[in-house]
Amino acid sequence: MSAAVAVEAAGSTDVGRVRAGNEDAMLVDVELGLYAVFDGMGGAKAGEIAAQTARDAFHFYARRHRDELPEIDLLENALLHACAAVYDAARADRNLHGMGTTAVVCFIPDLQRPRKAVIAHVGDSRAYLLRNGRLSQLTRDHTIVAELVARGMISAEDAERHPYKNVLSRNLGARFETAVDVVTADLGPGDRILLCSDGLYGYASIEAIQYLLGSGDAPELVAGDLIELALRGGGGDNVTVVVIDAGQDAETGTQVVRTSGAATLWERRAEFIAVARQQGLGRSPLCRGLPTDEAIELVAGSFCEALYHDLEKSTGVNVWTFAQNLGAGWLDHGGDWQVLRGVLDILQAASVAVVDSIRADDRRLGALLDIAVARALIVVELAVGNLLADRLRSVEAELVDLQAVAAAAEPVTEAGRSLLLEDPTVPFLRATRGVSMAGASVEIAAAVDESVTIARAAAPANALLVQRTIAALEAIAVHGEDPAAVVAEARELYGVRTLDDVGLQPLFAAVERVRLLVTTAVHQTRHSDAIKAGALRLISTCHHRLVATITGIILDAVAPASQRLKEAQRATSALRQELERLERQRTESDRFAAEPATELTPALSPDEDDARPHGEGDAG
């Protein structure tokens, strides 16, 4: 059967650079024409199990019913079967509770003459179709943010930057069944389908994905390149791709570009350098320090060489390396971004001019090179973008450090405490809502005291944060009728911490440990159940308020970030409007200068001109 199969496919998966385990799973069954990507979620190993369970259940069902059911029903039922399997597995094991997975699956019914692909999905794993070099998304993400965009509540641009853009509105496994979306795509020669998890498109631009898919390389090579692309983009998530070729094109333009295209471009190297010189490359501050000819040869000549090698091998690695070296070398020496941008623009203009000149001689080759060079130029932009992103990250880290230093230097004063209470983040910090042993019975107060003593003894002496948390809890239990006391204890416990995982996780871990210690201690006291319940109620309420107050302090600390962002956005908007106004003014000025009538009729003032009847001037 496989000998007659016209469809080629390959998949690849990688854990990424941040996650400890791979919670993605994939399926490439070339004999049945079934392909799938699953992206699992859930604590511990649950995500991994969810994705694998769904994949196995889907494959089992689809293999069994492939020849019995219509294609759409087959995929829909197979995914519902997978959903039920994940749900049942989660119910059977408490540690797997809450697990789920996304799914995007593709079925090509006729493998000898692939004319149609049926695609089904749940969640935010995606399917793309590459046709004639253009990539289009076949699936719509099942995320809450996508839903907000569909309802017109936020713009697509805001959605891209939304901090919760990955929260799903549907998945396999959260419930016994779910809604499955199914689409059908007609296929033609040269078409290529990509299935991927969000680890790809979250860390690589669509342009770069399109570029690699359109390279003409075999699916296994492209799958590897796509994984590499996501890792270069940060690799912040597990990444999985499946590339499906729906059949060979009559003749690949890529082969033409690799042979005669690359050679023709290389033959015009001198022309390329001449155009770059004409565009003012020699005058760029980036070329200072070397004789002009040598500098132009170094920059333009090297770029042309990198372009040639990339066209020849159908890759982007040479121009990527060129752009990174050029950008990093310039910016590391304090060079201005505008200058680098100017040089890149000159190189782009030279590339376009040379391709135009080739097109004049050979129209087809020119058209093919046009696309190939445009792709290479996109790679240059990506490389420089990557460089800037690295710099942004380092600026971000510096800002966080500066903020931590500023927070450390800020003394906690009484005035500060009262300010915090004037507009409390947490409602129970209002003066009317105190809690303490003052209103509790003597027996409950004694039970609380005893519980705290037992908990303190049970906690390791060297676990300082745990001991301090117990002390804070005790203080709130004694003085909790004064909300300021809760704030003071929370503030003291919070101390000086960096606002990140490293700073906050130990604090929350200590708080959780104290909860367990104190709860156990209450059960160990020798009081009646009613007194124990009263003591637990009081301690739990104090505990809840302590943790919520710490959270309120954290939210207060991070609040200025949003405010400052809004101010910066307003300033950018004002600048943009100013620029638009000036551009309009300049356009008016250009038009005024170009109108001969103003020179020919100097006697007419603008007012008189306006006073003429409409059409009179035109008729004249």
Partner 1 sequence: MSELVDRVAVLRDEVLDAAGGGSSDSCAELFEAVLSALTLGSESVAGIEATVQDAVSRRLAWGASEVQLLADNAWVFERLIAAVERAFRDHDEEMVVIEAATHVSVMVSRAIAMSGVARAAHDRAARVREEMAQRQLRDAVDKQAQQLAGRSSSRGA
Residues 540-569 that bind partner 1 (CB under 8 A): 540-541, 543-545, 547-548, 550-552, 554-555, 558, 561-562, 564-565, 568-569
Count, residues near partner 1 per rule CB under 8 A: 81
Candidate segments 108-116, 253-261, 344-352, 570-578, binder of partner 1 by CB under 8 A: 570-578
Q: How far apart are CA 313 and CA 31, in angstroms?
A: 31
Residue list 154-173, contact with partner 1 (CB under 8 A): 161-164, 167
Candidate segments 92-100, 115-123, 476-484, 597-605, binder of partner 1 by CB under 8 A: 92-100
Please identify which residue in 31, 64, 70, 98 interacts with partner 1, judged by CB under 8 A: 98
Which CB, 95 or 278, lies closer to partner 1? 95
Which CB, 46 or 223, lies closer to partner 1? 46
Which CB, 177 or 396, lies closer to partner 1? 396
Which CB, 113 or 523, lies closer to partner 1? 523
Q: Are 284 and 300 in contact (CB under 8 A)?
A: no
Contacts 24+ apart (CB under 8 A), 286-292: 286/326, 286/330, 286/335, 286/339, 286/340, 286/343
Candidate segments 10-18, 204-212, 280-288, 525-533, binder of partner 1 by CB under 8 A: 525-533
Q: How far apart are CA 243 and CA 193, in angstroms?
A: 6
Residue list 182-221, contact with partner 1 (CB under 8 A): none
Please identify which residue in 529, 599, 610, 616 interacts with partner 1, judged by CB under 8 A: 529
Binding mask 329-348 for partner 1 (x = CB under 8 A): --------xx----------
Question: DSSP letter at 177?
Answer: -
Q: Give min distance, CB of 346 to partner 1, in A.
A: 18
**Cβ-Cβ contacts under 8 Å for 532 (sequence gap 6 or more):** 447, 522, 523, 525
Q: Give the phi and the psi of residue 289 in degrees, each rounded to 5.
A: 100, -15
Q: Give min distance, CB of 351 to partner 1, in A.
A: 23
Sheet holding 100-107, edge to edge: 24-29, 34-41, 100-107, 116-122, 181-186
Which CB, 62 or 539, lies closer to partner 1? 539
Q: Give min distance, CB of 392 to partner 1, in A.
A: 6
Which CB, 43 or 189, lies closer to partner 1? 43
Q: Based on the number of CB atoms within 10 Å of its own CB, is 164 exposed (0-12), middle (13-18) or buried (19 or more)?
A: exposed
Q: Give min distance, CB of 452 to partner 1, in A.
A: 16
Residue list 127-146, contact with partner 1 (CB under 8 A): 143-145
Which CB, 379 or 554, lies closer to partner 1? 554
Which CB, 457 or 555, lies closer to partner 1? 555
Q: Give min distance, CB of 197 to partner 1, in A.
A: 18
Q: How far apart are CA 2 and CA 400, in angstroms?
A: 57
**Assigned token pair, 33:** 């024409």
Q: Give min distance, CB of 173 to partner 1, in A.
A: 11
Q: Give min distance, CB of 449 to partner 1, in A.
A: 18
**Does residue 260 bind partner 1 (CB under 8 A)?**
no
Please identify which residue in 184, 572, 601, 605 interacts with partner 1, judged by CB under 8 A: 572
Q: Are strands 239-245 and 192-196 parallel, antiparallel or unpaired?
A: antiparallel
Q: Give the phi and the psi of residue 164 in degrees, each rounded to 5.
A: -110, 35
Q: How far apart are CA 163 and CA 539, in angstroms?
A: 35
128 DSSP β-pair partners: 137, 194
Candidate segments 196-204, 289-297, 317-325, 395-403, binder of partner 1 by CB under 8 A: 395-403
**Does residue 96 bind partner 1 (CB under 8 A)?**
yes
Residue list 489-508, contact with partner 1 (CB under 8 A): 499-501, 504, 508
**Assigned token pair, 156:** 């697509």
Buried b (16+ CB within 10 A) or exposed e, 408-441: eeeeeeeeeeeebbeebebebbeeeebbbbeebe
Which CB, 54 or 96, lies closer to partner 1? 96
Would you tell me how many other CB atoms lie within 10 Å of the CB of residue 69? Answer: 16
Q: Give min distance, CB of 343 to partner 1, in A.
A: 16
For residue 277, the SS3 value is: helix
Residue list 280-309, contact with partner 1 (CB under 8 A): none
Please identify which residue in 363, 576, 591, 612 interacts with partner 1, judged by CB under 8 A: 576
Q: Give the phi and the psi of residue 585 in degrees, each rounded to 5.
A: -60, -40
Which CB, 375 or 543, lies closer to partner 1? 543
Which CB, 298 or 399, lies closer to partner 1? 399
Which CB, 496 or 561, lies closer to partner 1? 561
Which CB, 174 or 246, lies closer to partner 1? 174
Ordered alpha helix ranges (H), 216-362 = 219-232, 253-256, 262-267, 269-278, 292-296, 302-313, 317-332, 337-361
Residue 8 is inside which H or E element, if any? strand 8-14
Q: Give min distance, CB of 95 to partner 1, in A.
A: 5
Q: Give the phi and the psi of residue 152 in degrees, each rounded to 5.
A: 75, 20
Residue list 10-49, contact with partner 1 (CB under 8 A): 41-44, 46
Which CB, 108 or 547, lies closer to partner 1? 547
**Assigned token pair, 205:** 């631009």
Q: How far apart are CA 327 and CA 332, in angstroms?
A: 8
Q: How far apart are CA 120 and CA 448, in angstroms?
A: 58
Buried b (16+ CB within 10 A) or exposed e, 213-234: bbbbbebebbbbbbbbbbbbbb
Which CB, 290 or 508, lies closer to partner 1? 508
Which CB, 79 or 96, lies closer to partner 1? 96
Candidate segments 24-32, 239-247, 484-492, 514-522, binder of partner 1 by CB under 8 A: 514-522
Residue list 399-458, contact with partner 1 (CB under 8 A): 399-400, 425-428
Q: Give min distance, CB of 482 to partner 1, in A.
A: 18
Buried b (16+ CB within 10 A) or exposed e, 178-201: bebbbeebebeebbbbbbbbbbbb
**Does residue 94 bind partner 1 (CB under 8 A)?**
yes
Please identify which residue in 511, 517, 521, 525 interacts with partner 1, judged by CB under 8 A: 511
**Cβ-Cβ contacts under 8 Å for 398 (sequence gap 6 or more):** none
